[in-house]
Amino acid sequence: MATARGAQGRLAHKLTKVLARVPSDIEISQSAAPIPIDKIAADAGILPDELELYGKTKAKVHLTIRERLKDVPNGKYIVVTAITPTPLGEGKTTTTVGLSQALGAYLGKKVFTCIRQPSQGPTFGIKGGAAGGGYSQIIPMEDFNLHLTGDIHAITAANNLLAAAVDTRIFHEKTTPSDDTLFDRLCPPGKDGSRRFSGVMLRRLRKLGIDKGDPNQLTPEERGRFARLDIDPDSVTWRRVLDTNDRMLRQITIGQGKDEKGLTRVTGFDIAVASEIMAVLALASDLTDMRERLGRMVIGTDHQGTPVTADDLGVGGALTVLMKDALMPNLMQTLEGTPAFVHAGPFANIAHGNSSIVADQIALKLVGPSGYVLTEAGFGAEIGFEKFCNIKCRASGLAPNCAVLVATLRALKMHGGGPKVVAGRPLPPAYSEENLELVERGCGNLAKMIENGRRYGIPVVVAINRFKDDTAAEVELVRKLALAAGAEDAVVSNHWAEGGAGAVALAGAVIAACEKPGRFQHLYPLEKSIKEKIEIIVREMYGGAGVEYLPEAERKIALYTECGFDKLPICMAKTHLSLSHDPELKGVPTGFVVPVRDVRASVGAGFLYPLLGAMSTMPGLPTRPIYYEIDVDPQTGRVIGLS
């Protein structure tokens, strides 16, 4: 690799040795010589005192940079999404990184990439890592895909502290029938008889409407209301988390030790990135906002149906202490030296599927009005992109200038009726042979996703992520049908095999699209009812015929409406493998009725999430997980086999 000063005084880091036979992702990553991260930071406009180094190749960036740059106009804001993917994924991250490299290293534009941190579950399971691929990667990919700076570990610790607080409170209230005794344990008197409330206790008193700061002034009735949460164990929705795919923890029974006095409860574990705390991290605007969001997270209700929060349990402040460093975005770089923020990692099928607001905000200021910020929304344009527009952009106040829609011939053939694609198995021959009929039928899914993007009032550029067996005739057919469906442009991109050089045409199309006038708009007003918002998403984004609400969903909708949560946006939890709720329905299914089996509240994150069909929040491992390939060279300490 050659390193030189690029246009406008920035470091350029172009690939000089691109092999025709593309090596493995980890071989490419380990062959690169990363620019020291403090130099990447300085080149991006980050001052030394705004940087916290985590070694030579990664760092955290202080949020104070936003205040320094508050008067700088934002750059262009581009969201990368996709058609409905195969189980193998269609290369959104690879496209995002390749496009960034093209804009920065080849076209001389100021650019920042903002993507999610991956869970270690898929990294050791089926899918592998998420640093991109080929010659379009975030490096070092080992750091990216594993611990990075510990944000997910902080989330795990905070989540499980809250889970412990829930069950210990239930235990102590069950074993302490006297309100006075319970109050004395929460506010023990000193030797002189004085007592004190902690800050989080004062929050609970204000919530109860008790305007007293001295514990000794509370009446017996007020003491009981303050001390006894009366949590209904059957209402508890807060589960423990682990950043490992472990199907055996999906349902467990806790409290079986002899000291727990028979207070057992059926619960389970979720994957760490499914925690509401991950969503809070992604949507919080600053430390104050994060503290408030963490404190108002709802863990269940009392026996009267009143929501119980983390602050009611007294743990909101402690959660914030565990999470305060995680709020700073992580700075890394691409193979060709363009800067990247890697921050937050909520799944898009069971959460809102977007990287953090603070990373995007900082990046938009750093690139300035002539620059570009690329952010990726998880899975297809009916899931992660919809949540980007209706949840993330509502919270941030930002509006995208352009959407890039990634499509592959492989996925289009699947949607056109091709053989089933199964992760870990060889692709059937239909996917490596020219078949214009399959491609044309599959382009119905592409057209629907273009329609979804345009529904928000922004131009859509289709990126045809090229694979080696794609034919010129197939690619040209996709281009023609994409333009007919309303795409601003449709461009073949070969960034996996060529790095930024293979995405220059795509970059040009994106630059042109960003100059087009747009009128960004949300899909629904928050004032509509919970059911109305759900039905708008099903009708407009999925093409569904209607919604069926199961009894538990009906009960929760009534409860949340009564509690005042009905004005929150909606975060649908559904399969990413179909426009519908059924992963077997490919292409553009019609006439389907979506079953909503439950609705849960992420009040801290700021959304309600309906569960469509059977959704697992803890993935399992296959017979032959990727961890079979992963090892370390004891002589060099290098990681082997990570993908």
Q: Are 60 and 328 in contact (CB under 8 A)?
A: yes
Calpha distance 120→124 (Å, rounded): 6
Place of tokens 């690169």: 32
Helical residues (DSSP H) of 115-210, grouped into ranges: 120-124, 141-145, 151-174, 179-186, 199-208
Contact 86, 442 (CB under 8 A): no
Q: Is the peptide bond before 177 cis (omega within 30 degrees of 0)?
A: no
Give residue for tokens 């900082």: 362
Strand arrangement of the beta sheet that strand 593-602 belongs to? 546-549, 593-602, 607-612
Amino acid (one-letter) located at 402: C
E-strand ranges in 484-625 read 489-493, 546-549, 593-602, 607-612
CA torsion through residues 287, 293, 299, 304, sign: positive
Q: Where are the beta strands (DSSP E) in 203-344?
A: 240-242, 252-254, 265-267, 269-271, 298-301, 307-309, 330-334, 339-342
Cβ–Cβ under 8 Å, residues 264 and 254:
yes
Q: Is residue 392 within 8 Å of 378, Cβ to Cβ?
A: no
Residues with a known catalytic role:
92, 94, 116, 127, 348, 379, 467, 496
Q: Do residues 79 and 44 lie in contact, with contact meaning Cβ atoms separated by under 8 Å?
A: no
Q: How far is CA 160 from CA 2, 272, 337, 461, 463, in A?
A: 46, 10, 38, 42, 41
341: CB partners within 8 A, 6+ apart: 61, 112, 113, 114, 115, 329, 330, 331, 332, 355, 356, 359, 360, 362, 363
